[in-house]
Structure 1
Amino acid sequence: MESGAEQITVFSLFLQADPVVKAVMLILAIASIWSWAVAVDKWMQFGDLEQAARKFERDFFSGRTVDEIDDRGGDKPRDALARVFAAASREFREARRTGMPTGDAANLLLARADRLMQAQVSRELGRASRNLGVLATVGAASPFIGLFGTVWGIMNAFTDIAEQQQTNLAVVAPGIAEALFATGLGLVAAIPAVIFYNKFSGDLDRFADRLETFSDEVAARLSRRLGER
């Protein structure tokens, strides 16, 4: 009994599996590794976004003027909030070169600045959400891929029973084991992917709210600056 138990290992299950089940196992293993790589990358990305956003917000709400913040941002800002701010400040600088607008011209300037910030917010969210679809796909598809391997493995088990005309454990166990192993791999790939997808989707929603709120703050500050003139 011990020798039979020792033969049924993860490695032996893979080597002895049917080619179709073996392909399913490989697909699920690659999907799991890929989802973990994406999860680590997104974890670091959202951490960097949070750190950069806090730093820029400290500068923005520290009492500095629009011009001072604009000078610190440079021509090529590196973080999301700075790029949103730069989208509006560039429009403000262009308008100021021909004289500070008033009345309807000022309202048009604010409308253009707001549209530019909204466009930049969309680009930032698109950049932040990149590869989240991988986690969603792995989380949704892996259980079904594993189920396909399970069904195929059970079919092989019944085929072995029919060929050998025996129903003892030695005949049934390998096929059932590889079938259940495919199911397990599907769950191993899917569960972390779903957890990470939900986590990063929440982070993305909070980041979107932060960008929207910040763009409203920038618009209010520009409006106040135009009102002072």
Structure 2
Amino acid sequence: MPAGVSLESSPALKITKDGTVIDGKDIKGDIVVIADNVTIRNSRIQGGGWWAILQRKEARGLKVENSEIYGGGGEPLEFAILNYGGDITVRGNNIHSMMSAVQTSHGLIEKNYIHDPHEFPGSHVTLIASNEGSPIGLPLTIRNNTLLNPLEQNSCVSVYQDFGLNHDVLVENNLMAGGGYVMYGGKGKYGTPYNIKFINNVISRRYFPKGGYWGWLATWDERGKGNEFSGNVWEETGKSVAIP
């Protein structure tokens, strides 16, 4: 959020009009988006419960930019941004004090500072997660973010197969540290993931000697067509990060 921006207090919002722009708001409560091409920018959103910002399945084109999104109210925040809908852009935000920052199977996540997650009983702390490949054919790009997870679970970036085969994920030019593993690579029960790329990332040992508590990479599947793990280096030495 730009310095010097004056914010207007606002309660929770439900956005139903296409093209709505939320700008310069200080929102205590969640934002539920059920319209297309909504923009949230230059705002502060303090959420609790399941999400701070939700794009529902009937919506698409949400942009969240230059904002602060965080928990810390009367109840834990599970997801800062949760996407069940179409394309989404999450750019230039400060996201913290939540269990998970962004969960989506597609979209663009770039230039965010995601840090200081909170752990609660039964929590599952993953800063950015995709639980399956996009069912609507859109890729997921995660680039130029700073992702810092000092906790012993779960990751900075997770490509999972909780609900289906994962595919078409690009993770590049991020600084990442911490979690149980820094990265999960997509191997799972639904088959061989494909077009999963971890390229030119910087992995830090600032929290744990192996990058994450257990290591830097889990569930990587070299068999998948187009899968690539290359150009990743350790922050402290500049040496190459190998596939374990």
TM exceeding 0.5: no
Higher strand share goes to which structure? 2
The higher relative CO (CA closer than 8 Å, separation ≥ 6) is in: 1
The structure having more radius of gyration, on CA atoms, is 1
TM-score (norm 1): 0.20
TM-score (norm 2): 0.19
